[in-house]
């Protein structure tokens, strides 16, 4: 005989089990807290118990220096956490926290605070009282609206010792000043992404960019190779998550794509690495006429993988497909070798075959990049757009201040706004370019002076051939157009 259990009873059984397990977790946490209280243990580990609340008894552990509560189901931290005044490390990543209690500001000994992977919608002002904090990890809390450039390296990056955490005061300065501006004037989505076009010389990168952004055929262009790097602005009308069929229809937004055209001659290769970043689209262009070795396909794909990391979207563009003869790449072999490779595009800049399809793919992928619709305070976005339009390659402190004043960006907001000009977003230069002493006499921006022109700091020996990079940047045909190309100081390293 078969007994059918009604679904409602099944849910009840599951529900009871769930409650029991969370009760068990709470009881276990309580036991560990009591044990720690008796032994005055400096470390307490409540990780991965399935906890939905921390017992308030935690407040007795005034000798505790490290508290690990990650991988649980916490929605709040108890106010008693504020009594743990000896705490130096608090690890509450991967929970469901929507806010931190204001009492967290009492933890004045805290140096490391890990809150990644929660649902935080707001930060308490008391966080600014934690003056000893040297690392604050807030990644994976999208509702905070913090760009990756502001959050800095993740804890995984920092743990390896290769990168340093972003100074918490800078993250908090950005958060609070941006929030103030956003509340006062509203926000607009950033709608910007970076497309990096790489490949050997003469494979047709510049022609591809002209075909994509202007619909031009190769014969309409001059035949000169690219010197250094040229950035091309490509505004694209989009609707939802795709290219808009009709730019004039309702609900169409403009996506600002920055196409970076990297001169393929070998002399420029080392300078290129300065501009290769994560959260970008990599187009590795090959010429159908050439074989894999001539196209140096492994080199460029490895470059994209190592600089773009797992966040980069990589496509191989097989260009010149109008040619009857050639050596098209072994797509399956390349896919096996480079799992991050999203696909292959086949184009001709001669008759524009495949260009419309390539456009659609690039736009769809760009709209899927993290942070592309980040809400930004209106005045901040207006400042950023003005910077992009400025003709000069450098910007003095006075000009920067005047611009912020014109756009009604307050003193405290200036530095945060500058962060939006990050290389990841599509313009501005590398952090290792430093200030020209002539300009640094201007009033410094909050906390850190903002460099103004492309000279290396004295005594600094950069880990790349600087002279080549300088040549690439200052060559007359290199039209890195942003005035901020060298005014960026605190973007991600490497």
Ligand X SMILES: Nc1nc2c(ncn2[C@@H]2O[C@H](COP(=O)(O)OP(=O)(O)OP(=O)(O)O)[C@@H](O)[C@H]2O)c(=O)[nH]1
* 215 Cβ contact partners less than 8 Å away, ≥ 6 residues apart: 352, 355
The item of Mg ion, ligand X, none sharing an interface with residue 222, based on CB under 5 to 8 Å by kind, is none
Stretch that binds ligand X, among 120-128, 149-157, 183-191, 197-205 (CB under 6 A): 197-205
Residue choice 95, 226, 396, 489 for contact with ligand X (CB under 6 A): 226
Query: 3-state SS string over the chain?
Result: CCCCCCHHHHHHHHHHHHHHHHHHHHHHHHHHHHHHHHHCCCEEECCCCCCCCCCHHHHHCCCCCEEECCCCCCCCCCHHHHHCCCCCEEECCCCCCCCCCHHHHHCCCCCEEECCCCCCCCCCHHHHHCCCCCEEECCCCHHHCCCHHHHCCCHHHHHCCCCCCCCHHHHHHHHHHHHHHHHHHCEEECCEEEEEEECCCCCCHHHHHHHHHHCCCHHHCCCCCCCCEEEEEEEEEEECCEECCCCCCCCCEEEEEEEEEECCCHHHHHHHHHHCCCCCEEEEEEECCCCHHHHCHHHHHHHHHHHHHHHCEEEEEEECCCCCCCCCCCHHHHHHHCCCEEEEEECCCCCCCCHHHHHHHHHHHHHHCCCCCCEEEHHHHHHHHHHHHCCCCCCCHHHHHHHHHHCCCCHHHHHHHHHCCCHHHCCCCCCCCECCCCCCCCCCCCCCCCCCCCECCCCCCCCCCHHHHHHHHHCCCCCCCCCCCCCCCCCCCC
Whose structure tokens read 């006429």?
289
Q: Can residue 206 be called a binding residue for Mg ion (CB under 5 A)? A: yes
Stretch that binds ligand X, among 259-267, 293-301, 357-365, 412-420 (CB under 6 A): 259-267
Nearer to ligand X, 288 or 434 (CB): 288
Number of residues that bind ligand X (CB under 6 A): 22
Q: Can residue 206 be called a binding residue for ligand X (CB under 6 A)? A: yes
**Contact letters for ligand X, residues 304-323 (x by CB under 6 A):** ---------------xx-xx
Cβ of residue 280: shortest distance to ligand X, in angstroms? 18
Q: Record the tokens describing residue 460, joined without a space.
A: 């600094």
Q: Are 262 and 296 contacting, i.e. CB atoms less than 8 angstroms apart?
A: no
Q: Are strands 341-346 and 313-319 parallel, antiparallel or unpaired?
A: parallel
The item of Mg ion, ligand X, none sharing an interface with residue 319, based on CB under 5 to 8 Å by kind, is ligand X
Nearer to ligand X, 41 or 201 (CB): 201
Cβ of residue 308: shortest distance to ligand X, in angstroms? 19
Q: Can residue 223 be called a binding residue for ligand X (CB under 6 A)? A: yes
The item of Mg ion, ligand X, none sharing an interface with residue 203, based on CB under 5 to 8 Å by kind, is ligand X
Q: Record the tokens describing residue 232, joined without a space.
A: 């091309």
Cβ of residue 289: shortest distance to ligand X, in angstroms? 8
Q: Can residue 478 be called a binding residue for ligand X (CB under 6 A)? A: no
Cβ of residue 211: shortest distance to Mg ion, in angstroms? 13
The item of ligand X, Mg ion, none sharing an interface with residue 295, based on CB under 5 to 8 Å by kind, is none
Nearer to ligand X, 149 or 200 (CB): 200
Number of residues that bind Mg ion (CB under 5 A): 3
Cβ of residue 322: shortest distance to ligand X, in angstroms? 5
CA distance 461 to 238: 44
The item of ligand X, Mg ion, none sharing an interface with residue 478, based on CB under 5 to 8 Å by kind, is none
CA distance 191 to 366: 9
Residue choice 87, 191, 349, 418 for contact with ligand X (CB under 6 A): 349
Q: Can residue 203 be called a binding residue for ligand X (CB under 6 A)? A: yes
Q: Can residue 272 be called a binding residue for ligand X (CB under 6 A)? A: no
The item of Mg ion, ligand X, none sharing an interface with residue 201, based on CB under 5 to 8 Å by kind, is ligand X
Cβ of residue 390: shortest distance to ligand X, in angstroms? 26
Q: Can residue 226 be called a binding residue for Mg ion (CB under 5 A)? A: yes
Nearer to Mg ion, 141 or 206 (CB): 206
Cβ of residue 208: shortest distance to ligand X, in angstroms? 7
Nearer to ligand X, 196 or 382 (CB): 196
The item of ligand X, Mg ion, none sharing an interface with residue 218, based on CB under 5 to 8 Å by kind, is ligand X
Cβ of residue 229: shortest distance to Mg ion, in angstroms? 10
Cβ of residue 304: shortest distance to Mg ion, in angstroms? 18
List residues binding Mg ion (CB under 5 A): 205-206, 226
Binding site for ligand X (CB under 6 A): 199, 201-207, 218, 223, 225-226, 263-265, 319-320, 322-323, 348-350
């Amino acid at each position: 005989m078969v007994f059918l259990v009604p679904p409602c009873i099944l849910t009840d059984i599951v529900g009871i089990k769930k409650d029991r397990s969370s009760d068990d977790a709470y009881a276990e946490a309580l036991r560990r807290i009591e044990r720690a209280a008796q032994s005055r243990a400096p470390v307490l580990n409540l990780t991965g118990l399935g906890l939905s609340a921390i017992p308030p008894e935690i407040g007795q552990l005034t000798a505790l220096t490290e508290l690990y509560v990650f991988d649980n189901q916490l929605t709040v931290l108890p106010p008693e956490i504020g009594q743990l005044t000896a705490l130096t490390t608090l690890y509450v990543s991967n929970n469901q926290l929507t806010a931190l209690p204001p009492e967290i500001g009492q933890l004045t000994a805290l140096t490391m605070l890990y809150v990644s992977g929660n649902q935080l919608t707001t930060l308490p002002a008391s966080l600014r009282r934690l003056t000893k904090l040297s690392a604050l990890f807030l990644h994976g809390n999208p509702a905070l609206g913090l760009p990756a450039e502001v959050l800095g390296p993740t804890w995984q990056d920092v743990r390896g010792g290769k990168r340093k955490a972003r100074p918490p005061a800078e993250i908090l300065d950005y958060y609070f000043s941006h929030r103030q501006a956003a509340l006062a004037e509203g926000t607009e989505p950033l709608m910007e992404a970076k497309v990096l076009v790489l490949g050997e010389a003469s494979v047709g990168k510049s022609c591809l960019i002209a075909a994509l952004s202007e619909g031009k055929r190769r014969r309409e262009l001059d035949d000169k190779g690219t010197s250094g790097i040229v950035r091309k602005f490509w505004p694209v009308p989009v609707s939802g998550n795709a290219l808009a069929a009709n730019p004039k229809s309702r609900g169409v937004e403009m996506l600002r794509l920055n196409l970076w055209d990297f001169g393929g001659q070998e002399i420029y290769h080392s300078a290129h690495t300065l501009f290769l970043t994560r959260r970008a689209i990599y187009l590795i262009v090959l010429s159908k006429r050439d074989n894999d070795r001539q196209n140096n396909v492994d080199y460029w794909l490895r470059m994209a993988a190592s600089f773009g990391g797992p966040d980069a979207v990589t496509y191989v563009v097989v260009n010149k497909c109008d040619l009857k003869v050639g050596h098209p790449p072994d797509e399956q072999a390349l896919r096996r070798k480079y799992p991050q490779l999203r696909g292959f595009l086949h184009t001709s800049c001669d008759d524009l075959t495949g260009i419309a399809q390539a456009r659609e793919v690039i736009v769809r992928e760009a709209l899927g990049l993290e942070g592309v619709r980040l809400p930004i305070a209106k005045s901040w976005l207006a400042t950023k757009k003005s910077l992009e339009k400025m003709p000069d390659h450098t910007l003095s402190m006075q000009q920067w201040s005047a611009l912020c004043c014109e756009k009604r960006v307050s003193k405290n907001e200036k530095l945060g706004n500058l962060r939006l000009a990050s290389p990841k977003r599509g313009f501005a230069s590398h952090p290792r370019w430093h200030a020209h002493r002539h300009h640094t006499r201007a009033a410094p921006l909050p906390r850190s002076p903002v460099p103004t022109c492309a000279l290396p700091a004295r005594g600094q020996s950069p880990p790349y051939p600087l002279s080549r990079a300088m040549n690439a940047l200052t060559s007359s045909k290199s039209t890195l157009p942003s005035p901020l190309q060298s005014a960026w100081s605190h973007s991600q390293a490497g």
